[in-house]
């Protein structure tokens, strides 16, 4: 394989390294990210290339780039390649190498590019840009539009990125189908392609007590103690197991032992079987039920004051079909006799989203994965979220794309996203480039 690298792979690797080095870290603060730096990198990459290019800034420095290659046939597909430019923060002490060095470790055929965002998702943003540039420079224009959407603020919900673009500049981001992140990882002999994502139903539990002076606790009722009881109840709550239509394909692709597969398909026995599937058990647990994770806990402001109020923030991820009312009902039932002293507030959230698999774009993905990697595709439900949902909400099919090397299992992929020592193999960049080129030719060539 090393001797058969695509001629475009070195260019994609170099662009990936350049994007990593811009360190567009999104902390959630409106002033963070500063994706304009990576936009400038891409502007230079497309300099003197015959494309339509727009820099759109939601606020100073929070910039996105839209690059469009116009097609020749009215009514042909407009394929959007959706990549984000922001990355999550790092714990520098936990890294073996400079997280923003973009270092190529090993040689340029079998090495790995290290750095925050290498997997999530700058390698794909780079591959997207390279294919758009190739199409723009080709002697024959495409039938349909090809659009690079290199956006800001994906890691914090998109208010300064795609959400803002769709609201304020909808014409600029007009597409009919989309490829984005959350695909390409290996599941047995299959390649997972994202077709759906769980929803988010953030909640804040406001716990009431009776304040008082900490030196005389008699008669007071510390909200901190109440928080402990609420957390205890949360630790034992068991949302109902729900096997959606993507569960059985996942089990078939990942589990070879028929007896174990049978247990995993049984809602009564599935939890006892999860430890036997190794590192993917966490993912399997997450996509077979709604999940509730306490994340931020706060009580009190002064050392000598018994707090009369405390809060618990919950990250709740929901399966398709789950309503806000059902989430509130589950929490109320969990609280039991404590419900009278706990107020449930809604934080940000969104519904689960999905795209059908009987579309021409998904068929093109299947053909490309088969031709480039000799593998079949398994449709995948993502436990987390991405900007792709914003297109799905508008009825536009959007899929999590990628094509990683055979040793890049789901577990390896997940370990690098938001983790220490994030990196991507040159071979995975190469495979994704080859597959994407074929998909683009298939859909709009």
- Mean pLDDT of all residues in the chain? 96
Fold of the domain built from segment(s) 199-350: Alpha-Beta Plaits (3.30.70)
DSSP one-letter code for 215: T
Q: Using one digit for the tens of pLDDT, what is the confidence trace for 132-154?
A: 999 999 999 999 999 999 999 99
pLDDT (0 to 100) of residue 187: 95
- Among 386, 396, 347, smallest CA distance to 162 is for 386
Which pLDDT does position 3 carry in this prediction?
A: 56
* Type and span of the H or E element at 85: none
d(CA 137, CA 10): 18
Task: Label residue 13 left, alpha or beta by phi (over 0 means left) and psi (-120 to 50 means alpha).
Answer: alpha
Query: pLDDT digits over 357-406, tens only?
Result: 999 999 999 999 999 999 999 999 999 999 999 999 999 999 999 999 99
Q: How far apart are CA 147 and CA 172, in angstroms?
A: 10
Q: Which helix (H) or strand (E) holds 423?
A: strand 423-425
Residues of the chain above pLDDT 90, percent: 97
pLDDT at 52 over 60: yes
pLDDT tens by residue, 83-136? 999 999 999 999 999 999 999 999 877 899 999 999 999 999 999 999 999 999
What backbone torsions phi and psi does residue 212 show, to the nearest 5 degrees?
-175, 175
Other CB atoms within 10 Å distance of the CB of residue 154: 30
Whether 1 has a pLDDT exceeding 70, the answer reads no
Model pLDDT for residues 360-370, shown as the tens digit of each residue: 999 999 999 99
pLDDT tops 80 at residue 288: yes
Which of helix, strand or coil describes residue 236? Answer: helix
Residues 6+ apart with CB under 8 A from 208: 223, 226, 308, 309, 341, 342, 343
Q: How confident is the model at residue 199 (pLDDT cuts 50, 70, 90)?
A: very high
Query: What average pLDDT does range 414-423 have in this prediction?
Result: 95
Q: Which residue has the tokens 């405390």?
A: 310
Residue 268 CB burial class (10 angstroms; 0-12, 13-18, ≥19) = exposed
Which among 379, 378, 388 has a CA at the least distance from the CA of 350? 388
pLDDT at 287: 97
- How far apart are alpha carbons 86 and 38 in whole angstroms? 9
pLDDT-derived band at 2 (thresholds 50, 70, 90) equals: very low
- At 5, the pLDDT band (50, 70, 90 cuts) reads confident
At residue 386, the pLDDT reads 95
Give start-end residues of each CATH 3.40.630.10 domain in the chain: 2-196+352-444
The structure's pTM equals 0.94
> Rounded CA gap, 425 and 186, in Å?
14
Residues of the chain with CATH 3.30.70.360: 199-350
Q: Does domain 2-196+352-444 have CATH number 3.40.630.10?
A: yes
- pLDDT above 70: percentage of residues in the chain: 99
Name the phi and psi angles at 360, rounded to 5: -60, -35
């Amino acid at each position: 394989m090393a001797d058969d690298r695509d001629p475009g792979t070195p260019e994609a690797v170099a662009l990936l390294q350049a994007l990593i080095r811009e360190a567009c870290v999104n902390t959630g603060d409106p002033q963070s990210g500063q994706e304009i730096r990576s936009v400038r990198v891409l502007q230079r990459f497309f300099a003197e290339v015959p494309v339509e290019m727009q820099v759109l800034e939601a606020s100073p420095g929070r910039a996105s780039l839209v690059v469009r290659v116009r097609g020749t046939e009215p009514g042909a597909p407009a394929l959007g390649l959706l990549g984000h430019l922001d990355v999550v923060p790092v714990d520098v002490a936990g890294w073996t190498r400079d997280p923003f060095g973009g270092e190529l470790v090993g040689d340029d055929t079998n090495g790995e590019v290290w750095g925050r965002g290498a997997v999530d998702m700058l390698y794909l943003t780079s591959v997207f840009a390279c294919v758009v540039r190739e199409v723009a420079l080709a002697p024959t224009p495409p039938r349909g539009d090809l659009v690079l959407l290199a956006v800001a603020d994906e890691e914090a919900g998109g208010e300064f990125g795609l959400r803002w673009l769709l609201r304020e500049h909808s014409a600029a981001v007009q597409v009919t189908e989309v490829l984005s992140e959350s695909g390409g990882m290996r599941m047995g002999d299959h390649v997972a392609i994202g077709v759906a994502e769980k929803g988010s139903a953030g909640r804040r539990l406001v716990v009431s007590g009776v304040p008082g002076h900490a030196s005389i606790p008699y008669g007071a009722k510390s909200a901190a103690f109440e928080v402990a009881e609420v957390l205890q109840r949360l630790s034992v709550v068991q949302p109902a197991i729900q096997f959606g239509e993507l569960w059985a394909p996942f089990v078939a692709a990942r589990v070879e032992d028929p007896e174990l597969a049978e247990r995993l398909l049984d809602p009564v026995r599935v939890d006892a079987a999860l430890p036997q599937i190794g590192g993917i058990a966490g993912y399997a647990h997450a996509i077979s039920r709604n999940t509730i994770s306490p994340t931020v806990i706060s009580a009190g402001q002064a050392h000598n004051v018994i707090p009369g109020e405390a809060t618990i923030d919950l990250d709740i991820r929901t399966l398709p079909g789950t309503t806000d009312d059902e989430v509130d009902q589950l929490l109320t039932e969990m609280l039991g006799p404590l419900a009278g002293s706990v107020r449930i507030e809604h934080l940000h959230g969104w519904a689960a989203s999905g795209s059908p698999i009987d579309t021409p774009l998904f068929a093109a993905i299947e053909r490309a994965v088969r031709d480039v990697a000799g593998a079949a595709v398994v449709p995948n439900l993502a436990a987390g979220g991405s900007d792709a949902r914003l297109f799905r909400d508008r009825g536009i099919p959007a899929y999590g794309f990628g094509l990683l090397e055979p040793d890049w299992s789901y577990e390896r992929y997940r370990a690098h996203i938001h983790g220490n020592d994030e990196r991507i193999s040159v071979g995975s960049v190469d495979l994704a480039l080859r597959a994407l080129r074929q998909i683009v030719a298939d859909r709009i060539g």
